[in-house]
Chain A
């Protein structure tokens, strides 16, 4: 039997050093490739929907009105603004994110931690022109003329493939646009402060022997914290069983209370050792 390994968190390599002027490292977490692709799809769909709706509306007005020219101009300008302005304007806003990015909990950040300048946002989004729109319009043009032969299709696909998968080929998940603009895309999570496990524990707690408290280190403690917070009965039962067996303690029928008490005692013990400079990372450490 082993501790349940956590899977929910992204690998530690996605965390990046990001030191504030106050000298604290915020350890930003980069946006995962999947979330970024998802955000782009959401944005693309939104743009498409807006374009289609606006086209229908304007087409209707165009046919029914004598001043059709105005609407034709509106359409041309609107389509241009949508294609070039959607990403730029949203990312220049306070949240640094398009609706798609907001939905998936991402935001654009300057790599040096400075303000996000208009130049940077324009540069990162102008690059979409060769990443997305070029192969798209290329393919569209060729199919429209009925000459989209295999070679051209392959070329367009490999061209967009290079740029599409560019973020996967570098450590910081940079798109070509990010590279030129000096930006990166990070997770912007909004979490509530989860309750205090220690305060929630009853005042009269079980006592554990030194041997029982020396079983585990910080990694196991925090895994236990996750188990307690998730509160899945089967996980609690399993973990309580393992600890009881290792600590050689009898089963008193209250798994949750037992784990909660053990958490408090272990946490207090490890923190005491922390105070004298002994940080025990996991159970393998001394």
Chain B
């Protein structure tokens, strides 16, 4: 029972030979990957950087071999996790934040928005439909105003208000805390934009309702101001930031709708793939609306309080609108496509 056994030389199993032969390579790869994980790929020297893919491939082939020829569970587990970690550091790491940001403004954002043109038109139609409906309803029966606009929001701007008090709400500038007001408007609106996007998941229905309601509110206020003869003033008061803000809200609604449509009607793609394609590009458009809403917040919180003339307000608003439209929809050169 105690006589020595020698089945295959001094090293009877493959795992031991494996460990002896490649152990150093695995160790080095592990050290490199750990350093990248802890800091970044820039922490590696040139030699290490060149060695990384070679070591990674060697480890992968060790893994394949070990799976087929070795029964050492610990060895296979170790190689699996090491290969996985190395894989994600080599293939899965996102590009640097600055490059991504640059690409986002150069191509990603306008491309994503242009991609949503059908949904954007639907959102525009919904907003207009909502506005017209509310306008006609309130003109026929002012009681509708209370049903559409919550009491806190109207702050005296209801059908019973006099033309003078209405005019005052338009032209009396707020003096203090302008920047805070702008920030508040931005964060509040941006949250609603994110929300409209996320709600799109429920087949787009809540998003459509949200945008429709946005249109209803617009129409309700128009119905208050227009009959009193301050319609033009109101339009300019709204235009300075509204062109940017309403556009942004429509875009985020369009992004949500895109997801809802992709999930409800995936077309030729599998439902999961359709959701993924729609989700990724719509998310880029939605992130862009946050930028737009930051601009809108500044225009509303600061611009509108300091610029009180009708014409300047309108001019700023239209300029912004033209700017956004050019940025999003003007065709770009082909060469830019290759670098994106």
Check: B275 CB closer than 8 A to any chain A CB: yes
Is there an interface contact between B91 and A204, defined as CB atoms closer than 8 Å? Answer: no
Is there an interface contact between B78 and A271, defined as CB atoms closer than 8 Å? Answer: no
Is there an interface contact between A118 and B85, defined as CB atoms closer than 8 Å? Answer: no
What residues of B have a CB within 8 angstroms of the CB of A208 in the complex? 5
Is there an interface contact between B16 and A180, defined as CB atoms closer than 8 Å? Answer: no
B127 to chain A, nearest CB (A): 22
A76 to chain B, nearest CB (A): 5
What residues of A have a CB within 8 angstroms of the CB of B158 in the complex? none
Is there an interface contact between A268 and B12, defined as CB atoms closer than 8 Å? Answer: yes
Is there an interface contact between B286 and A122, defined as CB atoms closer than 8 Å? Answer: yes
Which residue of the partner chain, among B70, B190, B283, contacts A119 with CB atoms under 8 Å? B283
Check: B64 CB closer than 8 A to any chain A CB: yes
Is there an interface contact between A181 and B279, defined as CB atoms closer than 8 Å? Answer: yes
A168 to chain B, nearest CB (A): 17
B281 to chain A, nearest CB (A): 6
Check: A191 CB closer than 8 A to any chain B CB: yes
Is there an interface contact between A181 and B88, defined as CB atoms closer than 8 Å? Answer: no
Count of inter-chain pairs, beta carbons less than 8 A: 221
Q: A123-B279, A206-B2, A268-B8 are in contact. Are A113 and B60 (CB under 8 A)?
A: no
Q: What range describes how many residues of B lie at the interface?
A: 35 or more
Is there an interface contact between A28 and B84, defined as CB atoms closer than 8 Å? Answer: yes
What residues of A have a CB within 8 angstroms of the CB of B16 in the complex? 196, 198-199
Residue of B nearest to A194 (CB): B74
Check: B287 CB closer than 8 A to any chain A CB: yes
What residues of A have a CB within 8 angstroms of the CB of B179 in the complex? 69, 73
Is there an interface contact between B198 and A129, defined as CB atoms closer than 8 Å? Answer: yes
Q: Mark each residue of chain B from 70 to 113: 1 if its CB lies under 8 Å from any CB of chain A, else 0.
A: 11111101101101110111011111010010001000100010
Q: Mark each residue of chain B from 3 to 42: 1 if its CB lies under 8 Å from any CB of chain A, else 0.
A: 1110110111111100100010010000000001100100
Check: B225 CB closer than 8 A to any chain A CB: no
Docked Cα-Cα span, A127 to B60, in Å, equals 36
Question: Can you sample 12 A-B contacts with CB below 8 Å?
Answer: A22-B57, A115-B93, A115-B95, A118-B287, A129-B198, A130-B195, A182-B272, A182-B279, A188-B84, A198-B11, A267-B13, A268-B13
Chain B residues with CB under 8 Å of chain A are 1-5, 7-8, 10-16, 19, 23, 26, 36-37, 40, 57, 60-61, 63-64, 68-75, 77-78, 80-81, 83-85, 87-89, 91-95, 97, 100, 104, 108, 112, 177, 179-180, 183-184, 186-187, 190-191, 194-195, 197-199, 201-202, 259, 272-273, 275-284, 286-287
